[in-house]
Amino acid sequence: MAKQIEVSDLDAYYGSHKAIEGISMTIEPRSVTAFIGPSGCGKSTFLRTLNRMHEVIPGARVEGKVRLEDQDLYGTNVDPVSVRRTIGMVFQRPNPFPTMSIFDNVAAGLRLNGRFSKSQLDGIVEESLKGANLWNEVKTRLNKPGAGLSGGQQQRLCIARAIAVRPQVLLMDEPCSALDPISTLAIEDLISELKQEFTIVIVTHNMQQAARVSDRTAFFNLAAQGQPGKLIEMDETSRIFTNPTQKATEDYITGRFG
């Protein structure tokens, strides 16, 4: 299931503005990789280049290479739709489809992509909701609207929806920033479970969270406002937090800036 991602010399632009520059890294399979860094340093932009969501924004483009095992995601014949099917994404704000029930939300990715029998769907929906630790809370009201759940439940619903299509990589863009500590804990536990099966990349502003859930951490920074963001260093999470090689990383994680 899980695959390795290799990025080499990647630049991303919004129109003529260069948002990130010269990023190269390897993301290991079956592990959690955390991206940390100040706001505006391009963490989310970089995350979105990994499943070709960046180019959805008008005027946005990417230069460089992203390889999933031996496949170039930005190759000439690659269908971005199939890339996104392989590399799922969870967003900062929970965004269940408002017109669909809980069941339909989880089944959405499958239904919109192909034909499945009712019993197949039932099985996958239950498995995905269990995988997102939501099954026990919603099993009696699967046909109620997904928008009626609490924020934390909605976010787990979105995770269930993302894992229902069986991606190989799961990208999470600050998945807990809109949630209370209890829901955050539930999602962090879930991340630790999901890494058995998926390659997980998580963007977070919460350094304790990065320290808690991730195996490897990448620190991004930008020289000044308006300059492109860059990867400063990437290492085992324990090393980044105890013994970083760069001064900027140490300043950031200890709360000293500039």
Partner 1 sequence: MTVQMGIKPISAGRRVKNGVAQVLVYLAFAVAVVPLVSVLWLVIRNGLKRFDIEFLTHSMRNIGARDAGGGAYHAIIGTLEQVLLASLIAVPIGLLTAVYLVEYGNGGRLSRLISFFVDIMTGVPSIVAGLFVLAFWILVLGMTFSGFAGALALSILMMPVVVRSTEEMLRLVPNELREASYALGVPKWRTIAKVVLPTAFTGIVTGVMLAVARVAGETAPLLLTVFFTDSINEDPFNGPQMGLPLYVFGQSALPQDVAIDRAWTGALTLILIVMLLNLVARLISWWRSPAKRG
Judged by CB under 8 A, the number of residues near partner 1 is 35
Residue 36 CB, nearest approach to partner 1 (Å)? 22
What are the CA-CA distances from residue 99 to residues 88, 96, 193 (Å)?
21, 9, 30
CA dihedral 165, 92, 50, 238 (to 10 degrees): -110
Tell the smallest beta-carbon distance from residue 181 to partner 1 (Å). 24
For partner 1, the closer of residues 67 and 85 by Cβ is 85
* 203 CB burial (10 A radius; 0-12, 13-18, 19+): buried
Write the burial class of residue 35 (CB in 10 Å: 0-12 exposed, 13-18 middle, 19+ buried).
Answer: buried
Stretch that binds partner 1, among 91-99, 125-133, 225-233, 244-252 (CB under 8 A): 91-99
Name the one residue in this structure whose structure tokens are 């590399």.
Answer: 87
E-assigned strand segments in 39-115: 60-68, 71-72, 87-90
Interface with partner 1, residue 1, by CB under 8 A: no
Site string for partner 1, 219-258 (x = CB under 8 A): ----------------------------------------
Q: Does 93 bind partner 1 (CB under 8 A)?
A: yes
Which one of 10, 12, 142, 158 is in contact with partner 1 (CB under 8 A)?
Answer: 158
List the helix and strand counts (H, then E) for the chain: 10, 10
Q: Where are the alpha helices (DSSP H) in 112-206?
A: 118-131, 135-138, 151-164, 181-194
Candidate ranges 3-11, 13-21, 34-42, 51-59; the one touching partner 1 (CB under 8 A): 51-59
Among 44, 51, 154, 199, binds partner 1 (CB under 8 A): 51
Q: Which helix (H) or strand (E) holds 226?
A: none
Q: Which residues are at the interface with partner 1 (CB under 8 A)?
A: 51, 53, 56, 58, 81-86, 88-89, 91, 93, 95-101, 108-109, 111-113, 143-145, 147-148, 158, 161-162, 165
